[in-house]
């Protein structure tokens, strides 16, 4: 038996803000923004770190990729663990520990210590987004999955866009102090403390069970899929879940490869290709990444709108993925043939906008097909992004060192094309518990 969703899609969008779930979404937006500042501040500080620690571009690529090794390996485990212990407790400890890892990055003295700090950061963040997705599934009506994923990931891209300005400013300010701690180290310490403060705020304000949230109404509780209110979660149907999510994982790999290029190498590309100083390439990088803020929100809104109009999850999610992947591919192409700063900024900005149309859709699919195990399912999906994060910085950095910038961008274009092919043929369907009749009887009681 296959169904597309757990309840009929309403003709009118369910409200998010003006409900208690809006507060949950805002808290998660803050987390997503901070988490991406934590994981991408190394790219803005990259040219400074390379000089300070006497690294090659290939070695710096290894340090960046070190984040993604545990991040990829522990996605499924982290997502499943977050479901078991609950998002409130899980995200509290995740926030504390990734704050410690960020501070440790600032005290790195060489390649080994830098890699160690990045490994710890990847380990602690591996469960963050799957667990946050589990929190959303507890609170968000199914017809708003794409919109909410778009909002929180827009916040993450806002963190991306702000990171060059924040980190660049902190580096300049820290260096101006003339103390024993360099400016790039100051930037990591301050951002790490900010992460820990968010964790405390989350544990104070969030509740795993919507009915335990202060002042929540019966109207809002009735808008949440009833299956998600069960205290006992059914066993994970691993085979069917893997079979459904695996094509999405591949698409996420192609998306993730190119995203890591933007998050890791754009500052170095602008500095190396056009001889820009820190303040200049930080501003241009922020402009490029701001396009992703718009793309995330637009992708989620239009994907949900197609779902409400057609009632087809496949059409709603696939169409946005194809537009995003192919649009990003086309807009990257000018970088292979031209050398002009204005053209590069426009091409990168448009490419990133189209790429980020995919992000909310990719994260909405696990919520669509497996709301009961959204943490586990999103961990499976995001394993593709984690694997891309292992290979993309290393191979991209290697290709830059031996062949310049055109070949690495060409590789990204090829992977986007492959991801578009898979997105065109995949058929994500609702995954039901092993015993459907028992589930329906229990969830209706």
Give per-residue pLDDT as tens, 246-270. Answer: 999 999 999 999 988 887 788 888 8
Q: Does residue 176 form part of some domain? A: yes
pLDDT band (50, 70, 90) for residue 435: low
Is 7 inside any structural domain? no
| Rounded-to-10 torsion of CA 82, 88, 91, 95 | -160
Q: Which residue has the higher pLDDT, 430 or 110?
A: 110
413, 332 contact by CB (below 8 A): yes
Q: What is the mean pLDDT of residues 197-218?
A: 86
Query: Has residue 217 been placed in a domain?
Result: no
- For 39-67, write each residue's pLDDT tens digit: 777 877 888 888 888 888 778 878 877 88
pLDDT category at 225 given cuts 50, 70, 90 is low
Question: Does residue 156 carry a pLDDT above 60?
Answer: yes
- Rounded to 5 degrees, φ, ψ at 17 are -85, 150
Q: What is the mean pLDDT of residues 382-401?
A: 82
Distance linking the first and last C-alpha atoms of the chain: 21
- Binning pLDDT at 50, 70 and 90, where does residue 2 land? very low
Note the pLDDT of residue 226.
59
- Predicted confidence at residue 405, as pLDDT, reads 84
CB 345 within 8 A of CB 287: yes
pLDDT of residue 11: 52
Highest mean pLDDT among 71-75, 145-149, 301-305, 339-343: 339-343
Across 369-389, average pLDDT: 85
Q: According to the model, what pLDDT value does residue 101 have? A: 92
- Tell me, what's the pLDDT at 13? 61
Q: Please indicate, yes or no, if residue 226 is contained in any of the structural domains.
A: no
Q: State the total domains in the chain.
A: 1
Which domain range does residue 293 map to? 20-210+238-431
- Is the overall model pTM greater than 0.85, yes or no? no
pLDDT number for residue 133: 85
Q: What is the pLDDT of residue 351?
A: 95
pLDDT at 349 over 90: yes
CATH number at residue 282: 1.20.1250.20
Confidence of residue 438 (pLDDT cuts 50, 70, 90): very low
SS3 percent helix, strand, coil of the chain, rounded to 5, is 80, 0, 20
Closest CA to 212 of 31, 82, 87: 87
């Amino acid at each position: 038996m296959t169904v597309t969703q757990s309840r009929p899609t309403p003709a009118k969008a369910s409200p998010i803000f003006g409900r208690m779930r809006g507060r949950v979404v805002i808290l998660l937006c803050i987390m997503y923004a901070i988490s991406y500042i934590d994981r991408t501040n190394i790219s803005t500080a990259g040219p400074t770190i390379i000089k300070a620690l006497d690294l090659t571009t290939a070695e710096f690529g290894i340090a960046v990729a070190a984040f993604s090794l545990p991040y990829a390996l522990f996605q499924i485990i982290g997502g499943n663990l977050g479901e078991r212990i609950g998002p409130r407790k899980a995200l509290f400890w995740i926030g504390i520990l990734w704050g410690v890892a960020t501070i440790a990055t600032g005290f790195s003295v060489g390649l080994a210590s830098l890699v160690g700090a990045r490994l710890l950061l990847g380990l602690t963040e591996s469960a963050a987004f799957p667990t946050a997705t589990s929190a959303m599934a507890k609170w968000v009506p199914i017809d708003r999955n794409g919109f909410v994923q778009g909002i929180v990931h827009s916040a993450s891209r806002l963190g991306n866009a702000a990171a060059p300005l924040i980190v660049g400013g902190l580096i300049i300010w820290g260096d101006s102090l003339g103390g024993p701690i360099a400016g790039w180290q100051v930037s990591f310490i301050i951002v790490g403390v900010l992460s820990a403060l968010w964790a405390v705020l989350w544990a104070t304000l969030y509740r795993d069970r919507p009915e335990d949230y202060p002042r929540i109404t019966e109207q809002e509780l009735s808008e949440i899929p009833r299956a998600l209110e069960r205290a006992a979660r059914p066993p994970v149907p691993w085979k069917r879940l893997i079979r459904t999510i695996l094509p999405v994982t591949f698409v996420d790999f192609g998306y993730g490869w190119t995203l890591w290029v933007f998050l890791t190498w754009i500052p170095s590309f602008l500095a190396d290709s056009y001889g820009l100083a820190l303040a200049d390439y930080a501003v241009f990088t922020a402009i490029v990444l701001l396009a992703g803020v718009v793309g995330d929100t637009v992708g989620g809104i239009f994907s949900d709108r197609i779902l409400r109009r057609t009632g087809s999850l496949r059409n709603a999610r696939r169409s946005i993925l194809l537009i995003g992947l192919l649009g990003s591919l086309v807009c990257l192409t000018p970088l292979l043939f031209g050398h002009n700063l204005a053209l590069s900024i426009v091409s990168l900005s448009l490419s990133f906008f189209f790429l980020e149309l995919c992000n909310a859709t990719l994260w909405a699919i696990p919520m669509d097909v497996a709301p009961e195990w959204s943490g586990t399912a999103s961990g499976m999906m995001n394993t593709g992004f984690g694997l891309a994060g292992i290979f993309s910085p290393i191979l991209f950095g290697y290709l830059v060192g031996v062949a310049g910038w055109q070949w690495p961008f060409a590789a990204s274009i090829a992977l986007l094309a492959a991801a578009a092919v898979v997105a065109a043929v995949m058929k994500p369907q609702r995954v039901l518990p092993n015993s459907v009749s028992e589930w329906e009887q229990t969830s209706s009681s």
